[in-house]
Amino acid sequence: FYYMLYIVPTPIGNLQDITLRALETLKTADAVLCEDTRRTQILLSHFGISKPLYRYNENDDRSVLRCLEALKSGKKCALVSDCGTPCISDPGWKLVKEAVANGIKVSSLPGPSAVACALAGAGITGGAFTFLGFLPRKPGKAAKLLSAAYSQNHPVVLYESPYRVVKMLELVAKTLGGETPVILARELSKVYEEWIRGTAVSLAEELSKKSKVQGEFVMILDRPAQTEEATDEPDSYF
């Protein structure tokens, strides 16, 4: 009993975060399926690994088929993305779906992912949260998704690029209210890791004063502080 397709998370900013099992899997794979061959080549070279690389692009059906054919021909493949866990706001799910449909055994390795890393460090209640990944570019669509998710009374987690983070904070303020508590986890696991906390309005102001916003962000929209009486959560499950 062994697997043919391994989903292998890679570091989100610190090469030391690769797991021993990820390295072992990459070393023993017949081929590595990746988003960007150049980036994956750099990662593999760093760890002294040399493997045939297959570029994988979800919007290119031929690339999905090519990877599927490699699997069907008996090649043991490791699927990686540019950073973090494949399939989480990254390519991969189509291939995994096809692999499952074709009876190819899939194993998913645990490892770095920005959403889990940010949530753990945010210091907010664990349990339920809504992960939206990247919101659509159209403000109308984005606002709709935001309000629907936030109305479920759980923290909402978003991925955002540095170029759009101020715009997103403004949209949050407009859609959910300026006082919405926000936690920005910036450059996780890198030298300039930073946690910026405030409200949608205060953070939009703070960041728009900077000449250039840099780095990668996870944005967490927390629930406003509630008095104990106001919470509608049960005291216990029993």
Q: Does 89 bind ligand SAM (CB under 6 A)?
A: yes
Q: Is 35 in the site for ligand SAM (CB under 6 A)?
A: no
Do the strands 181-186 and 217-221 form a parallel or antiparallel pair, or are they unpaired? antiparallel
User: Shortest Cβ contact with ligand SAM: which residue?
Assistant: 84
Give the x/- contact pattern for ligand SAM in 123-142, rule: CB under 6 A.
Answer: --------------------
Q: Determine the interface stretch with ligand SAM among 44-52, 99-107, 113-121, 171-179 (rule: CB under 6 A).
A: 113-121
Between CA 222 and CA 130 the distance in angstroms is 11
* Residue 189 makes contact with ligand SAM by CB under 6 A: yes
The distance of closest approach from Cβ of residue 133 to ligand SAM in the complex, given in angstroms and rounded to an integer, is: 8
Q: Does 54 bind ligand SAM (CB under 6 A)?
A: no
Least Å from the CB of residue 142 to ligand SAM: 15
Binding mask 200-219 for ligand SAM (x = CB under 6 A): ----------------xxx-
Is residue 220 a contact residue for ligand SAM (CB under 6 A)?
Answer: no
Among 44, 83, 99, 171, binds ligand SAM (CB under 6 A): 83
CB atoms within 10 A of CB 166: 19
Residue 197 CA to residue 110 CA, distance in Å, equals 28
d(CA 62, CA 172): 39
> Which range of residues in 70-78, 84-92, 163-171, 175-183 is near ligand SAM by CB under 6 A?
84-92
- C-alpha Rg value of the chain to the nearest Å: 20
Nearest distance from C-beta of residue 139 to ligand SAM, angstroms: 18
Residue 114 touching ligand SAM (CB under 6 A): yes
Specify the residue, 117 or 200, whose C-beta has the smaller distance to ligand SAM.
117
- The residue with tokens 């946690």 is 195
Which positions touch ligand SAM (CB under 6 A)?
A: 12-13, 81, 83-85, 88-90, 113-115, 159-161, 185, 187-190, 216-218
